[in-house]
Structure 1
Amino acid sequence: MDLEQLFAGLDSVRWGDVDHAYGEADDLPGIMRALAGDEQQARDALDELWSSILHQGTVYAATAEAVPFLARLVAAGVHPVELLVLLGGIAESEDAYGLPEPGACRAAVVDQLPLILPLFESGDPEVRRAAVWAAGRAGSVSVLPALRRGWRRAEEAPGVRAELLAALAHLDPEGTAATATAAVSADAPDRLRMVALLVCVDLGLPWTPAHQDAMVSLLPAGPHVVDRFDLQRNEPLHYTVHRLLLRDTDRDRSAAYDLIEAALRLPGAEARGEALWAAEHACLISRSAPGRLAGALLSLLADPSFTDTASLLPVLGKLGDQAAGAAPALAALAAMDGEPADRALEVLVRVAPEQAGPLLARDLGRRERTMRAVTGLSGLRPALPLPYGPELVNAIRIRLTEIAGSDEPRGGDAAELAVLLLGWGRQAAAALPEVTAVFQRHPARVARALAAVCPPEHRDETADLLRRAAESGDPDDRYEAADALRALTGETGPLVSVLKEVLAEGARQELPRTAGELGSDGLVLVPHLRAALTPQGDGPRSNPAMNADVQTALALWRLTGDAAEAVAVLGGVLAEAADGMWTRWPVANAARAAACIGAAGAALAPALGPLLDDPVQAPGAVIALRSLGHGLDDARAADLLLSSAERNAEWATALDALGALGPGVLTPEVRARLTALAEGDLRVVDSGLEPEIVPQDERLRIRARELLAAAKD
């Protein structure tokens, strides 16, 4: 191996002028030279290449520069399979950053096809297979003659033949349809049949009983694709269901559901596991899936051959009301010990919350997953409030007593319990003694719950306790105690005193927000609010700092009635955050603040106007601009709001804003779009935190139906 020839020109590339995932790419020459080193060096280099030049599917300017050297290594027999797979991944990437021109990385791979195509004749079937993959992903029709010759040749390796079919379909869909249909035949190798089925569904061919029978006969599908390079299609049942549902026709939906139900009837655990995963995905993208699949899924609970109830939990959590029949089985599992019981209880909270409370009470200290779900304190999802129940309140009282008497710091546990109590308010008044005891140790964690559960007969003594806590100690404790006191009695003096001291201590947006709610009692805080604003000229602000400045500006306006100062601050935030990749929330918060200020903030209109082009920011911008008196007519406003909702971009804000425009904007076209949002089968909310996709989409449907109903009244 002539390394000097392989790496000729490597050091002539200005690697420091091009970037990969981690910045300047001047480390790439060393990484690529390591590919020709010993086995460990090469493995490490391969890992670094995947991480840097094809990071999570993204390609960079440095990627295109590296491609010729990688192709030379392949042609020289240096880790050809691994590097061909990398080249194929580079060629198929649709996610690019900093390229000199669109498609530069794919074009770089196409330029190296003369080094890749001869490997179709390699004596190693894995090299042949990888070469076909890389060439096919390059997307150049110039590859088709070589692919067709390979298909006509008596290729004995099923994996290579399957990859040839996939590549032909990618580059010549129309010309490959008949070939793929014929390859579904039962006399073809199973691996080839499976890829042929995936090609058929990709090409949009009618999904016939023959396709259905072939797919079911090949389940479990995993073994037939276990080492395929095409990771997008490495779960064939899941992928096929996905593609059929996206066709959005009654026939294809029925075919997808029939396929899942047939797979659920198979006896093997592996095939059923694939079916459950496909069913769960179907519920995430199709509104009719829960109703159609619930019967088949619930029947598994009565099937003696099905013993893994825990494997049903993810999909049951996405069935909504349709899973009510599973409540007894969930309750039985939740009554057991261990992590599966906790997971079952979390699902039961979604399916039958009235049954979940007593079970949570029975083992409150060991249901961490369920507690995170019902409180939402993890920040990963909204809370799932439980209905009030005496058993659960008693269990909480016992836990609070343990926390109050513990020498360990257990403020987090106290905070979770406080969320439940806060939701029940005075219904949970029996817990007042225990909350009071915990308050002595963890004031900030339970202050609001203390005020919420306090009955009238204990109001004075609780107020005294909160008042004393607001006078000295940790600033967070003092603030929470003073704010809870305000909630309990309306008293603002202690809160004003605390805010005077803590406003300037950091970017906590709840502090200025609270100050702005105090009316005339908060006027004394105006100088402190001004002092809390981030000094100009100190460099870029963090998102928390910008958010705090927005709330401070809004508080100043609410307290003084003078918009000029607030408008200047908001304008500064909008200007600073306008071009940032991660500044969505400061921009959205500034738009909301501008809407509150109204016509007096008209100077902000030029900064808000460009937000209309962003579906995520458009709803807030529409509200703000109309509040400022900007000339945004009803028709355009309705179109922008509906477009945001249709793209699952701030749909709640968009539909609320559409409702605020009044029934006059609900033209036949607007009603038709609302009807599609409410009644279409494909979910509009199709991304985000997985446990929340179905509930959020159902809430969208309800809101859209409400708007349609209002149009009829």
Structure 2
Amino acid sequence: MFNGLNDIDWSALQHAYGSAQEVPALLVSLRSEDPAVRRRALDECYSTVHHQGSVYDSTVAALPFLVDVAEDPGTGDRSAVVRLLVSIGESAVEQAGRGYGSDTDAGAQAVAVLRERAAVFERFASDSDPGLREAAVGAFAWCMEDAVAAGAFLRARFGEDADVQVRLAIVAAMAGLAARSETMGIAAWEWFGSVAHKGAAHPVLRFSALAYSAQVAPDRIDDGLVERGVGFLAEVRVAPVEPAAATSQSANGGVPPEVVAAFADMDRAVAETTVVTKLLGVLHGALGDRLADRAVLIRAQLSHVDDAVRLDGIRDAQGLITAWRGDHAALVDALADLLHGIGPVPARAAGALGACAPVAGAAADGLGTYVASLAGEPLAAAWHVADDELREPFQEAVLALAKLGDVRAVPYLVEALDSGVDTWKGVQVAGGLSEATGVLAPRIAAYLASLNPGSRRDTMRVNAALSALGKLGDPGTIGPIMDALTAATATNSGNDVPTAAPAALNALAALGPAAGPAADAVWALTGSANLHIQAAAVKAWWRISGDQDATVKLALNLLDASAWFAINDGASLLTEFGPDAAAALPRLRELMGHSYEWVRVSAAAAVWAIGGETETEAVLGVLLAAWNRNAVTGRVVAPLLDRMGDDARLALERIRAELANNHRGDVASLRDDEMVLGHCRAVADRFTDG
């Protein structure tokens, strides 16, 4: 089996982490009698010779041995090895240039090696082990030179194999084949139609065929496709998802709790994935911007009898709302309708409403009622109860209510902050509840004092607490903020080292003149060698002291900084001084030609604020070019155009194009996108008659 393995100079070959000298040992370990050893070896193969789907020269060299390992009946987990081979083949086709061609790189070489062994995959696909058959049929999307022959083989196997999972894999392989071969596109679409219309077929097979028919021929989607899909979906039954444990802030080997929670969320998403999850993703992807059809499908998911399909619906509803503009009231209502009982469904629904908070205001009453029904005694006992089924939906609903800025969340947040359990979650949302500053700010300040601002482990939580204190604006918290600033600057060692100092300075800036006792410390940091700290200190100095002359000079210095973010901060600050900052105009005009669009935008905004109408044409040229290049700059460009009044007329075409675009694009957040749209509407309305 391993003849010639040691004749290869593996040290001269490469994988994701350098020399491939350990690959022979991995290949041999795949034949181990110990399942744990085999599992580790397989994981290492995925992380080295097939890292994130890549194909290397070491991958090509390993392929013949991997095929031999998979062929040997004595190998444990043969299907797992075949899945690795199929995954490598899929990636290799993409790497080779998509489709049938090219023999110039590792991807093309890998495809050639595997196509030479197409007969082996035929044997795997006909094996008595259904797991091996399921793993192998995916290879027929690419392993035969003759795409028509590959399609015929798949159709034949579909007719002969009674196993539903294998047949689902065949349907998916046919879609992959159609994507790589124009000659197979229509044939596959017609075959999918025949499968979908077979009344005796398993419902999930019919749904699968319908989803892939839409994917391979989106231009052939008819008005009744979604209705048929909803009908098929209603007949599908999905086994209950094994609940994944929620996480609390308890220490986990020194790992910050927010990091633990993030990985737990990823694990939970994997655990909640079913065969239907992928098929729904295929159908939603094919429907694309047919938002009304997708909303109909999602509402069917949300009302499905099985929790697993409802969970998919929650994720898809959140994805649609956050990625696409439009009237999402019906989806928000459908999510709110899931706020009853306990368990993962109401927990995810509440989380989705929180993620969509800028457009989910109509769900506030539902969230408030749901939270009150779970609260228990004392008031927020459900926040820290041991039962995940209760604690998670309660926490998510309280957090969503707070993200909506609803004061009904305050009593529960207060009790949560006092409990010491998952405090960091409450801190992240408290800043939006300024009406409750008196009860929230002291508690967050106490929480901040319990952290170490000089520790990288605590940096994210320290920053969150400082952000919340800045938004709440309680002058009584200056002391803890200053303590955090002192501790953070004491351990600072360079521009690239995370530090809480800028967050502390931003919090002081938010307090404005009330932070006067911190003025001397802030002034000292305006000369910091760390540009993150220096830029934040300059802004804080201005907000606290109101010293315009000194601030203009400091901002001018930032314009010559070596880092783009510091230049940006300096230019942004200069916009506040108007003509009084005229000395900065020459440098700002130079920066309008900077290589980075963010600097160009900030410089252009400052030039217009300082120079006025005479600068309009040049400024608009820079702003619109940057916005067209990088949609995220709209966060700055759109508000500026709104402030420009009649001068924005020259940007009207771009504004109207933005309003006509129903995709949110790459704007950083839903809240940002809604803000951009609001400013665009204001500009468009101003010129309605013209």
Same fold (TM over 0.5): yes
* Distance (whole Å) between structure 2 residues aligned to residue 29 and residue 307 of structure 1: 44
- Which 10-residue stretch deviates more, 480-489 or 510-519? 480-489
Asked if the contact 2:78–2:132 (Cα under 8 Å) also holds between the matched residues in 1, the reply is yes
Asked if the contact 1:216–1:259 (Cα under 8 Å) also holds between the matched residues in 2, the reply is no
Task: Give the 3-state SS of the residue equivalent to 2:321 in structure 1.
Answer: helix
Structural mapping, 1:140-289, within 5 Å = 142-152=146-156, 154-158=159-163, 159-171=165-177, 172-184=184-196, 185-203=198-216, 204=218, 205-206=221-222, 207-220=225-238, 235-236=277-278, 238-239=280-281, 242-243=284-285, 245-246=287-288, 248-249=289-290, 253-288=291-326
Give the aligned residue type for 1:599: P
The equivalent of 2:434 in structure 1 is 387
* Distance (whole Å) between structure 1 residues aligned to residue 21 and residue 296 of structure 2: 54
Task: Give the 3-state SS of the residue equivalent to 1:93 in structure 2.
Answer: helix
Question: Among residues 626, 634, 653, which one is paired with 1:641 in the alignment?
Answer: 626
Task: Give the 3-state SS of the residue equivalent to 2:85 in structure 1.
Answer: helix
Question: Among residues 106, 119, 122, which one is paired with 1:120 in the alignment?
Answer: 122
Structural mapping, 1:359-438, within 5 Å = 359-366=412-419, 372=425, 374-375=427-428, 384-389=431-436, 393-394=438-439, 422-425=470-473, 432=476
* Distance (whole Å) between structure 2 residues aligned to residue 292 and residue 496 of structure 1: 49
The equivalent of 2:349 in structure 1 is 312
Give the aligned residue type for 1:182: S
- Specify whether residues 630 and 593 from structure 1 end up closer, same or farther in structure 2 by C-alpha distance, changes over 3 A only: farther
- Specify whether residues 315 and 216 from structure 1 end up closer, same or farther in structure 2 by C-alpha distance, changes over 3 A only: same
Residues 439-462 of structure 1, C-alpha deviations (whole Å, 9 max, x = no match)? 4x8852499xxxxxxxxxxxxxxx
Give the aligned residue type for 2:349: L
Shift, 1:93, TM fit: 3.4
Residues 540-591 of structure 1, C-alpha deviations (whole Å, 9 max, x = no match)? xxxxxxxxxxxxxx99982597x7xx77x64xx4xxxxxxxxxxxx444445
The equivalent of 2:181 in structure 1 is none
Shift, 1:218, TM fit: 1.1
- Specify whether residues 510 and 281 from structure 1 end up closer, same or farther in structure 2 by C-alpha distance, changes over 3 A only: same
* Distance (whole Å) between structure 1 residues aligned to residue 84 and residue 464 of structure 2: 47
Structural mapping, 1:553-702, within 5 Å = 558-559=553-554, 570=561, 573=562, 586-590=563-567, 593=570, 597-600=584-587, 608-609=594-595, 611=596, 619=601, 637=622, 639-644=624-629, 648-656=631-639, 663=647, 666=650, 669-677=653-661, 680=662, 682-685=663-666, 693-702=669-678
2:47 is the alignment partner of 1:27: no
Residues 63-112 of structure 1, C-alpha deviations (whole Å, 9 max, x = no match)? 34544443454455656422332232233339879xx9987425522442
Task: Give the 3-state SS of the residue equivalent to 2:435 in structure 1.
Answer: coil
Question: Among residues 69, 77, 81, which one is paired with 1:83 in the alignment?
Answer: 81
Percent of aligned pairs with the same amino acid: 20
CA RMSD between the two structures = 5.0
Structural mapping, 1:37-48, within 5 Å = 37-39=32-34, 40-48=36-44
2:505 is the alignment partner of 1:509: no
Shift, 1:261, TM fit: 2.7
Structural mapping, 1:427-466, within 5 Å = 432=476, 439=479, 443-445=482-484
Shift, 1:169, TM fit: 2.4
* Distance (whole Å) between structure 1 residues aligned to residue 339 and residue 524 of structure 2: 57
Shift, 1:329, TM fit: 1.7
The equivalent of 1:131 in structure 2 is 136
Asked if the contact 1:400–1:414 (Cα under 8 Å) also holds between the matched residues in 2, the reply is no
Shift, 1:182, TM fit: 1.4
Shift, 1:151, TM fit: 1.5
The equivalent of 1:328 in structure 2 is 369
Shift, 1:221, TM fit: 7.8
Structural mapping, 1:82-121, within 5 Å = 82-93=80-91, 104-105=106-107, 107-121=109-123
* Distance (whole Å) between structure 2 residues aligned to residue 483 and residue 274 of structure 1: 43
* Distance (whole Å) between structure 2 residues aligned to residue 672 and residue 73 of structure 1: 60
Give the aligned residue type for 2:160: E
* Distance (whole Å) between structure 2 residues aligned to residue 58 and residue 511 of structure 1: 42
- Specify whether residues 102 and 395 from structure 1 end up closer, same or farther in structure 2 by C-alpha distance, changes over 3 A only: same
Task: Give the 3-state SS of the residue equivalent to 2:677 in structure 1.
Answer: helix
* Distance (whole Å) between structure 2 residues aligned to residue 620 and residue 9 of structure 1: 60
Shift, 1:21, TM fit: 2.4
Task: Give the 3-state SS of the residue equivalent to 1:188 in structure 2.
Answer: coil
* Distance (whole Å) between structure 2 residues aligned to residue 290 and residue 80 of structure 1: 47
Give the aligned residue type for 2:215: D
The equivalent of 1:467 in structure 2 is none
- Specify whether residues 232 and 604 from structure 1 end up closer, same or farther in structure 2 by C-alpha distance, changes over 3 A only: farther
Residues 611-663 of structure 1, C-alpha deviations (whole Å, 9 max, x = no match)? 45xxx777458769999999995775355233245xx4333134345557774
Shift, 1:346, TM fit: 0.5
* Distance (whole Å) between structure 1 residues aligned to residue 55 and residue 683 of structure 2: 44
* Distance (whole Å) between structure 2 residues aligned to residue 117 and residue 31 of structure 1: 25
* Distance (whole Å) between structure 2 residues aligned to residue 495 and residue 168 of structure 1: 67
- Specify whether residues 45 and 198 from structure 1 end up closer, same or farther in structure 2 by C-alpha distance, changes over 3 A only: same
* Distance (whole Å) between structure 2 residues aligned to residue 587 and residue 399 of structure 1: 33
* Distance (whole Å) between structure 1 residues aligned to residue 520 and residue 569 of structure 2: 29
Gaps of 5+ in 1: 377-382, 448-474, 523-553, 574-585
- Specify whether residues 487 and 510 from structure 1 end up closer, same or farther in structure 2 by C-alpha distance, changes over 3 A only: farther
* Distance (whole Å) between structure 2 residues aligned to residue 518 and residue 374 of structure 1: 26
Shift, 1:366, TM fit: 2.8
TM-score, with normalisation over the residues of structure 2? 0.68
Q: Which has the greater radius of gyration? A: 1
Give the aligned residue type for 1:655: A
* Distance (whole Å) between structure 2 residues aligned to residue 169 and residue 141 of structure 1: 17
TM-score, with normalisation over the residues of structure 1? 0.66
* Distance (whole Å) between structure 1 residues aligned to residue 618 and residue 523 of structure 2: 46
- Specify whether residues 87 and 144 from structure 1 end up closer, same or farther in structure 2 by C-alpha distance, changes over 3 A only: farther
Give the aligned residue type for 2:155: W
Task: Give the 3-state SS of the residue equivalent to 1:650 in structure 2.
Answer: helix
- Specify whether residues 65 and 393 from structure 1 end up closer, same or farther in structure 2 by C-alpha distance, changes over 3 A only: same
The equivalent of 2:492 in structure 1 is none
- Specify whether residues 279 and 587 from structure 1 end up closer, same or farther in structure 2 by C-alpha distance, changes over 3 A only: same
Shift, 1:181, TM fit: 1.3
- Specify whether residues 373 and 69 from structure 1 end up closer, same or farther in structure 2 by C-alpha distance, changes over 3 A only: same
Shift, 1:342, TM fit: 2.6
The equivalent of 1:56 in structure 2 is 52
* Distance (whole Å) between structure 2 residues aligned to residue 402 and residue 170 of structure 1: 53
Asked if the contact 1:34–1:45 (Cα under 8 Å) also holds between the matched residues in 2, the reply is yes
- Specify whether residues 711 and 17 from structure 1 end up closer, same or farther in structure 2 by C-alpha distance, changes over 3 A only: farther
* Distance (whole Å) between structure 1 residues aligned to residue 506 and residue 209 of structure 2: 67
Asked if the contact 1:264–1:296 (Cα under 8 Å) also holds between the matched residues in 2, the reply is yes
Task: Give the 3-state SS of the residue equivalent to 1:683 in structure 2.
Answer: coil
Give the aligned residue type for 1:703: H
Asked if the contact 1:35–1:46 (Cα under 8 Å) also holds between the matched residues in 2, the reply is yes
- Specify whether residues 371 and 278 from structure 1 end up closer, same or farther in structure 2 by C-alpha distance, changes over 3 A only: same
* Distance (whole Å) between structure 2 residues aligned to residue 556 and residue 314 of structure 1: 43
The equivalent of 2:407 in structure 1 is 354
Residues 275-326 of structure 1, C-alpha deviations (whole Å, 9 max, x = no match)? 3333333333333463122333334457x89996434312332261131331
- Specify whether residues 220 and 62 from structure 1 end up closer, same or farther in structure 2 by C-alpha distance, changes over 3 A only: same
